[in-house]
């Protein structure tokens, strides 16, 4: 029985991965870096430490990271506040989860202040039982620490928690945590390297509501 939903932030709740990729590609064009699919798969959904192997593939790139991170942050927050970056179906899903008494968490490799600022751009304030971010734990995705911390804080079992993720590293982390791994593709397509770790796949956040409703109807009667 699913009692808690844990949502990733970038690329899942908010259309930030698109903006981030645009900033990387513009930076690469300016400085002569040709970033490939392997690069974006390796840096999506993880922290700087976990992304370092990809940065190391491009000589001198690490020296530019503070500049790039500042540009990326400004681009994302400018669009989030001016136009909104909430993914289609996000607020409807959050409303459904609140109305049906699910525990609700955010599990993100990003910094807490960054996640909170994105959440502040939604049309109303939502209650989250716990928000766990990369600067709050030792190991970010693909390690399971973020999701295990969410599970601990809501006092449930991992198998009672549905994790919604858009990245390979997030799905690996959810699987390692023993949670139910739900995949909603954004910029990273499903491939054979992690498809077997996905428990449920959705085309968009809109499809999660009928799935949860169906799960409720399948629950055995209590005696």
**Interior angle at CA 27, CA 77 and CA 189, nearest 5:** 75
Give the residue, 114 or 50, on which the prediction is more confident.
114
CA dist., res. 152 & res. 173, Å (int) = 15
pLDDT of residue 220: 52
pTM above 0.75, yes or no: yes
Residue 51, both tokens:
């992304």
Query: Given a cut of 80, is residue 218 above it in pLDDT?
Result: no
Contacts of 157 (CB under 8 A, 6+ apart): 151
pLDDT attached to residue 223? 41
């Amino acid at each position: 029985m699913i009692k808690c939903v844990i949502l990733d932030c970038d690329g899942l709740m908010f259309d930030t991965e698109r903006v981030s990729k645009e900033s990387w590609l513009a930076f690469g064009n300016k400085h002569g870096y040709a970033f490939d699919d392997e690069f974006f798969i390796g840096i999506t959904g993880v922290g700087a430490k976990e992304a370092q192997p990809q940065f190391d593939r491009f000589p001198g790139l690490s020296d530019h990271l503070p500049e790039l991170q500042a540009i990326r942050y400004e681009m994302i927050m400018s669009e989030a506040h001016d136009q909104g970056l909430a993914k289609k179906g996000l607020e409807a899903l959050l409303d459904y989860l609140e109305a049906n008494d699910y525990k609700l968490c955010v599990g993100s490799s990003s910094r807490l202040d960054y996640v909170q600022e994105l959440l502040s751009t939604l049309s109303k304030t939502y209650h989250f039982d716990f928000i766990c971010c990369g600067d709050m734990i030792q190991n970010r995705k693909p390690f399971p620490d973020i999701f295990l911390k969410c599970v601990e804080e809501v006092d449930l079992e991992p198998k009672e928690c549905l994790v919604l993720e858009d990245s390979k590293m997030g799905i690996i982390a959810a699987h390692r945590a023993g949670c139910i791994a739900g995949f909603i593709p954004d910029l990273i397509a499903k491939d054979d390297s992690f498809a077997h770790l996905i428990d449920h796949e959705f085309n968009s956040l809109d499809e999660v509501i009928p799935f949860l409703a169906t799960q409720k109807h399948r629950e055995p009667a209590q005696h």
